[in-house]
């Protein structure tokens, strides 16, 4: 038998042994809880922010980045050797209110950019406008996660607001240049104000009374809600209301309100 043939046979014999040994090492790491799938390693890290009690939130989600970024298009001004870039950035803010737990969490890498201030019972939330981080926000994960069932009002701009599983007697939502999604919320009285090209979606909500204002090319999309009474506060010719799925007597009420 030629030497080259012997070497080839030896090599082919070693490959299964190497695979078996590697599999054995992986099993040992798994049994010792040292083996972590990459899907878990990509989960974001959140930091808790300790705040006093509050019943109202005023939130500005707008961010400005300094320096070049993959999301930048045109510089708005020149500052020294850096370009001041305005990025249209609508971070996702998630609200929950179905437990007694009060918590306020932010993606850890953005904690330094967060600014909060409490005046009486109102929490003001904003971000440093010249924050020098890369615009690498992953929209799959909310920037803020807020759990407070005692909230009475949320006023927000330049944000994507998601409210789910919220239970309260009354709630006032006022959004501007924002996206608002309300899902599986049980509120007796909901006051909704949408302005400056805001988009509102409501899914599977239970309300006794909805008072709404839609202005400046804003729109509301209702889908499969149970709402007993609708009260139109103000609308204009640029606003739009869409009704999908089961809406009970909503269509008839809205038609009557439009006539009025």
Cα separation values, 259 from 85, 105, 218, 220, 253, Å: 47, 46, 20, 19, 10
Closest Cα partner for 182 from 227, 228, 232? 227
What pLDDT does 102 receive? 83
What pLDDT does 97 receive? 80
Q: At residue 10, does pLDDT exceed 90?
A: no
State how far the Cα of 154 lies from the Cα of 161, in Å rounded to an integer: 10
State how far the Cα of 63 lies from the Cα of 153, in Å rounded to an integer: 23
Taking the domains of the chain in order of start, what are their residue ranges?
Answer: 1-35, 44-151, 154-260
pLDDT tens digits along 140-157 = 789 999 998 889 999 999
pTM of this structure? 0.71
Tokens describing residue 206:
């239970």
Q: Do residues 242 and 222 lie in contact, with contact meaning Cβ atoms separated by under 8 Å?
A: yes
- Beta-carbon neighbour count of residue 240 at 10 Å? 13
């Amino acid at each position: 038998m030629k030497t080259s043939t012997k070497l080839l046979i030896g090599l082919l014999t070693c490959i299964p042994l190497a695979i078996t040994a590697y599999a054995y090492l992986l099993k040992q790491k798994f049994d010792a809880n040292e083996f972590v799938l990459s899907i878990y390693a990509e989960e974001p890290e959140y930091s808790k922010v300790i705040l006093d009690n509050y019943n109202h939130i005023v939130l500005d989600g707008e961010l400005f980045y300094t320096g070049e970024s993959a999301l930048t298009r045109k510089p708005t001004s020149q500052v020294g050797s850096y370009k001041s870039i305005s990025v249209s950035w609508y971070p996702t803010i998630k609200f929950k209110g179905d437990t007694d737990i009060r918590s306020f969490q932010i993606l850890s890498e953005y904690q330094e950019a967060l600014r909060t201030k409490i005046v009486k019972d109102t929490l003001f939330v904003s971000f440093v406008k010249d924050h020098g981080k890369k615009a690498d926000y992953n929209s799959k994960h909310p920037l803020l996660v807020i759990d407070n069932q005692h909230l009475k009002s949320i006023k927000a701009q330049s944000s994507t607001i998601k409210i789910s599983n919220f239970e309260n007697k009354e709630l006032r939502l006022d959004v501007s240049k924002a996206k608002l999604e309300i899902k599986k919320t049980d509120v007796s009285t909901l006051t909704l104000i949408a302005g400056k090209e805001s988009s509102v979606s409501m899914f599977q909500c239970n309300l006794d009374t909805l008072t709404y204002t839609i202005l400046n090319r804003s729109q509301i999309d209702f889908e499969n809600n149970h709402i007993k009474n609708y009260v139109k506060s103000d609308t204009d010719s640029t606003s739009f209301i869409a009704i999908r799925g089961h809406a009970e007597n909503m269509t008839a009420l809205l038609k009557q309100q439009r006539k009025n």
